[in-house]
Amino acid sequence: MAVVFKKTEGLTDKQFHYCPGCTHGIIHRLVGEVLEELEVVGKAIGVAPVGCSVLAYDYFNCDMHEAAHGRAPAVATGIKRILPDNVVFTYQGDGDLASIGTAEIIHAAHRAEKFTTIFVNNAIYGMTGGQMAPTTLIGQKSTTSQAGRDAATTGMPLRMSEMFATIDGAVFVERVSVHDVAHIRKAKKAIKKAFEVQLEGKGFGIVEVLSTCPTNWGIAPVESLTWLKENMIPYYPLGNFRTPEEGK
């Protein structure tokens, strides 16, 4: 009988620790599949963040380096500058990338570092128990914005992809979502493109993936997918912000 579906070689056999309904698992799988399809699992070096995906080093089936909170882009810079022929990626959440690590990610993009970043935005701090993130939506309840995020005292949610779109070194910038199958397929295409841009040595590539956090949102898994679609996408519009012109 022909095998029509199997685990990707880009992931290990280790069982994910993620909560039911969390979309980290899907995003991990997409990255693993892309590494496999591009035949770079053996060349890949991943940098794991601090946050829910802190244990990502156990899941990706390639060499991994666990960074300090927010510092993954600096760690990846050190690796890629020394090993330019390897494929280097960071996998970071929104607390990691959009809060404590903004300097590191912005300047990695600014230097046009030739690695790929998978930025998982679930609009909340997951691992530490549901605190407000820079990406938390206005009115969204968190353990540090219990009456709902208030723009007057905490500002407006930070749109990172739009910011990357202003940086010349960030040659591929796309925001995707994984709330349904069609969007999951689009997300995979973007992730693949971001890795291809790295393989072509064109510059820094980042894919922002809108993701769910049923546990800390306090919303059931299926309803979380709807909540993402109805609340996150209007504020964080999907689409490509930057892509290298063909032949350049």
Partner 1 sequence: MAKVLMKGNEAIGAAGIKAGCKYFFGYPITPQNELPEFMSKELPKVDGVFVQAESEVAAINMIYGGAGTGERVMTSSSSPGIALKQEGISYIAGAELPCVIVNISRGGPGLGGIQPSQADYFQSTRGGGNGDYRLPVYAPASIQEAVDLVIEAFDVADYYRNPVMVIGDGMIGQMMEPVEFNEPEKKRELPVKDWATTGTEGKRKPNIINSLALDPAELEKHNIKLQAKYDEMEEKEVRYEAYKLEEAEVVLVAYGMTSRIVKNAMDILEKEGIKTGLIRPITLWPFPNKAFNEIPDTAKALLSVEMSMGQMIDDVKIANNGKLPVEFYGRAGGMIPTPEEIVNKVKEILGGGK
| Matching residue, tokens 């996150």 | 232
135-151 exposure pattern, b = at least 16 Cβ within 10 A, e = fewer: bbbeebbbeebeeebee
By CB under 8 A, how many residues form the interface with partner 1? 38
**For partner 1, what does the binding mask look like between residues 109 and 148, x meaning CB under 8 A?**
-xx-------------------------------------
Query: Cα–Cα distance between 79 and 81 in angstroms, integer?
Result: 6
Count CB neighbours of 119 within 10 A.
26
Torsion angle of the four alpha carbons 84, 85, 86, 90, in this order, in degrees rounded to the nearest 10: 40
Q: How far is the CB of 125 from partner 1 (least distance, A)?
A: 17
82 lines the binding site for partner 1 (CB under 8 A): yes
167 lines the binding site for partner 1 (CB under 8 A): no
Q: How far is the CB of 102 from partner 1 (least distance, A)?
A: 10
Q: Which of residues 27-56 bind partner 1 (CB under 8 A)?
A: 41-45, 47, 54-55
Q: Are strands 170-177 and 239-242 parallel, antiparallel or unpaired?
A: antiparallel
Q: How far is the CB of 58 from partner 1 (least distance, A)?
A: 8
For partner 1, the binding residue among 22, 34, 64, 124 (CB under 8 A) is 64
Residue 164 gets which letter from DSSP? H
207 lines the binding site for partner 1 (CB under 8 A): no
20 CB-contact burial (10 Å; exposed 0-12 / middle 13-18 / buried 19+) = exposed
Q: How far is the CB of 17 from partner 1 (least distance, A)?
A: 10
For partner 1, the binding residue among 23, 53, 61, 122 (CB under 8 A) is 61
Structure tokens at 173: 């910038």
Binding site for partner 1 (CB under 8 A): 12, 41-45, 47, 54-55, 57-58, 60-68, 71, 74-79, 81-83, 86-87, 103-104, 106-107, 110-111
